[in-house]
């Protein structure tokens, strides 16, 4: 299929014939009978499939786990799929290449990833991300379907969980990607407000599985970095949105801060505040696939001033201890000394060193710029305690795409 014009896109569920072992599990599982086969291939009928994903977990090979973006009016037919030996290459969309990411978004990304020397390669087993499908001249229009406060009403930080629904517009995202929001109105020089980037906080199959929606974790900016009162344009616009409001969205962006997919891969996640958004997405992806027993550990360091200001504190506390190892750090508890994520990393020196030196462990850092230096110093100490050298280890982590930093 060739590049397409301004058509309506959809995600088409496909089965990879190269990987499929023709075990019939998917056809037997599909509740709407969208899957059929001949002597050659198992195929999915686009007109019948409701993307319920019931077939995905039971598939023993993962051949079933493919969604290609197609022009909605021109999906792959059953005859086409039955003739395949391999999946076709994903279609080239009108505006879909990393090279075409707008310069202002590229600049923000470069600043955010400065701590690792700029954007890097993704983990070798990461899924292929779509980038830059929607531009400022042609944004996707999403509908707000959720907006609730994550932090306690009394807490000074107003952090919100906002759910955007894309209706029939294809907006495929992977955990760790960002999207851009275009706040309405003009800036002081009479130009449209520039794009604001936000990390996706939900897994690839939607905030609600099988819905075409995405969650964001937004902090209302009401003081600037120096503590002066200010009303942040993008964050206040988002935090004040009502259910049913429409939002212009661009992106998705990001082709390196992605999670590994191979069984046995572990994640070390370090975040503060809204830096929890990509960690929530990755954790939720792993939680939804837990029954597959793919293995791999999750180690989380999460910092806030007090528990009341920690987004997703309640749901995190409910996760099983053998699923995720959570280490909170609170810096403003009246009865305890100030503790930051770097202190908790030092407390777990053996575990952290083991994971830093495990080629199957991928390290993610996200939050305000200020957290980065302390975490890197803690890694340096962890290495030193174990007779190793962070300055020698860091380039190895980067070369293996095992260290991912996004701070803003
Ligand atoms: C890769 C990336 C991912 C991001 N992900 C998220 C996310 O998941 N959730 C989220 O809430 N934000 C996230 N941000 C930050 C977001 O893009 C905006 O910068 C933020 O919402 C502030 O925008 P604003 O329009 O409200 O403030 P502006 O109107 O742009 O700025 C108002 C003033 O506030 C200052 N300011 C800007 N941001 C902050 C801040 N965080 N704290 C204190 N002062 C600030 C500015 O310097 C300026 O002086 C991310 C940024 C990047 C680069």
Q: Residue of the nearest CA to atom 27 in ligand 1?
A: 232
Over residues 324-368, the pLDDT tens digits come to 999 999 999 999 999 999 999 999 999 999 999 999 999 999 999
198 lines ligand 1 (CB under 6 A): yes
Closest approach atom of ligand 1 to CA 234: 25
Find out whether the peptide bond into 183 is cis, omega within 30 degrees of 0: no
Residue of 252 and 9 predicted with greater confidence: 252
pLDDT at 348: 98
234 lines ligand 1 (CB under 6 A): yes
68 vs 10: CA distance, rounded Å: 8
Residue of 65 and 390 predicted with greater confidence: 390
pLDDT at 99: 54
317 vs 15: CA distance, rounded Å: 37
217 lines ligand 1 (CB under 6 A): yes
Over residues 264-295, the pLDDT tens digits come to 999 999 999 999 999 999 999 999 999 999 98
Over residues 108-133, the pLDDT tens digits come to 988 999 988 888 899 999 998 999 88
196 lines ligand 1 (CB under 6 A): yes
8 Å CB contact between 300 and 283: yes
Indicate whether 5 pLDDT > 80: no
Q: Name every residue whose Cβ is closer than 8 Å to that of residue 335 and which is 6 or more positions away in sequence.
A: none
Across the chain, mean pLDDT equals: 92
User: How many angstroms does the Cα of residue 263 sit away from the middle of ligand 1?
Assistant: 35
Over residues 362-392, the pLDDT tens digits come to 999 999 999 999 999 999 999 999 999 999 9
Over residues 211-238, the pLDDT tens digits come to 999 999 999 999 998 889 999 999 999 9
Which structural domains are found in the chain, ordered by start? 9-82 (3.30.70.20), 98-109+127-253 (2.40.30.10), 266-407 (3.40.50.80)
Rg over alpha carbons for the chain, rounded to the nearest Å, is 22
406 lines ligand 1 (CB under 6 A): yes
197 lines ligand 1 (CB under 6 A): yes
Indicate whether 53 pLDDT > 80: no
């Amino acid at each position: 299929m060739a590049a397409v014009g301004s058509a309506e896109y959809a995600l088409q569920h496909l089965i990879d014939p190269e990987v499929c072992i023709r075990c019939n599990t998917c056809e037997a599982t599909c509740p709407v009978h969208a899957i059929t086969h001949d002597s050659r291939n198992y195929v999915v009928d686009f007109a019948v499939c409701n993307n319920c994903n019931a077939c995905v977990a039971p598939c023993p090979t993962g051949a079933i786990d493919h969604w290609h973006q197609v022009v909605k009016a021109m999906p792959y037919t059953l005859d086409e799929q039955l003739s395949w030996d391999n999946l076709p290459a994903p279609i080239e969309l009108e505006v879909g290449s990393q090279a075409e990411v707008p310069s202002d978004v590229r600049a923000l990304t470069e600043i955010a990833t400065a701590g690792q020397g700029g954007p890097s390669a993704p983990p070798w087993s990461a899924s292929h991300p779509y980038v830059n499908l929607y531009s400022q001249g042609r944004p996707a229009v999403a509908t707000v379907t959720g907006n609730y406060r994550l932090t306690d009403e009394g807490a000074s930080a107003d952090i919100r969980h906002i759910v955007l629904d894309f209706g029939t517009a294809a907006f495929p995202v992977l955990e760790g990607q960002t999207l851009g929001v275009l706040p309405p109105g003009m800036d002081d020089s009479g130009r449209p407000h520039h794009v604001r980037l936000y990390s996706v906080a939900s897994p690839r199959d939607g905030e609600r599985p099988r819905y075409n929606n995405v969650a964001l974790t937004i902090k209302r900016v009401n003081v600037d970095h120096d503590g002066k009162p200010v009303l942040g344009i993008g964050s206040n616009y988002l935090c004040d949105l009502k259910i049913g409001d429409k939002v212009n969205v661009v992106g998705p962006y990001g082709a390196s801060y992605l999670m590994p997919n191979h069984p046995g891969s572990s994640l070390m996640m370090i975040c503060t505040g809204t830096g929890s958004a990509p960690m929530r997405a990755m954790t939720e992806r792993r939680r939804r696939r837990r029954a597959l027993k793919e293995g791999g550990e999750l180690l989380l360091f999460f910092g806030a001033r007090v528990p009341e200001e920690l987004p997703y504190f309640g749901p995190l506390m409910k996760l099983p201890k053998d699923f995720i190892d959570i280490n909170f750090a609170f810096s403003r508890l009246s009865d305890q000394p100030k503790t930051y994520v770097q202190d908790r990393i030092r407390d777990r020196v053996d575990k952290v060193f083991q994971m830093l030196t495990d080629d199957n462990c991928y390290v993610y850092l996200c939050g305000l710029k200020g957290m980065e230096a302390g975490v890197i110093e803690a890694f340096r100490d962890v290495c030193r305690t174990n007779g190793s050298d962070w300055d020698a280890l860091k380039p190895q982590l980067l070369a293996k795409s095992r260290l991912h930093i996004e701070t803003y």
